[in-house]
Amino acid sequence: MQEYDEIVLKVFLKKQEQLFPQRVAETPEEAEAFLEECMAVVAASPEEVWEYFDEQGIDMEGADIGEILEADEVFDIGDGRYLIVES
């Protein structure tokens, strides 16, 4: 099971509307429950984000790492990590 620390939860709460048309969580507890339900992943680096997309079979042909990191489902945590939430 993926662990979501306080920083990850705060970033998701702040930026969740980049992926969802309306807020899906209001508190850290709601955010954690939602992320667990979605099986969201915390990647430790841009390379891990790329590997995740590749393993999931997501078509990345012609895309570069910058484009992948700008995908709506990728949240920059700000400390080198990325939260990937599949909607």
In this prediction the pTM is: 0.92
Strands annotated E in 20-63: 41-43
Place of tokens 């507890």: 29
d(CA 77, CA 59): 24
Average pLDDT per block of 10 residues along the chain, 87 residues long: 91 97 97 96 96 91 92 97 93
pLDDT of residue 1: 63
Interacting residues of 11 by C-beta distance below 8 A, sequence separation 6+: 75, 76, 77, 78, 83
Q: For the chain, what's the residue count?
A: 87
pLDDT of residue 22: 95
d(CA 69, CA 76): 8
d(CA 87, CA 80): 22
- Write out the two tokens for 79: 């400390």
Residue ranges per structural domain of the chain: 6-84
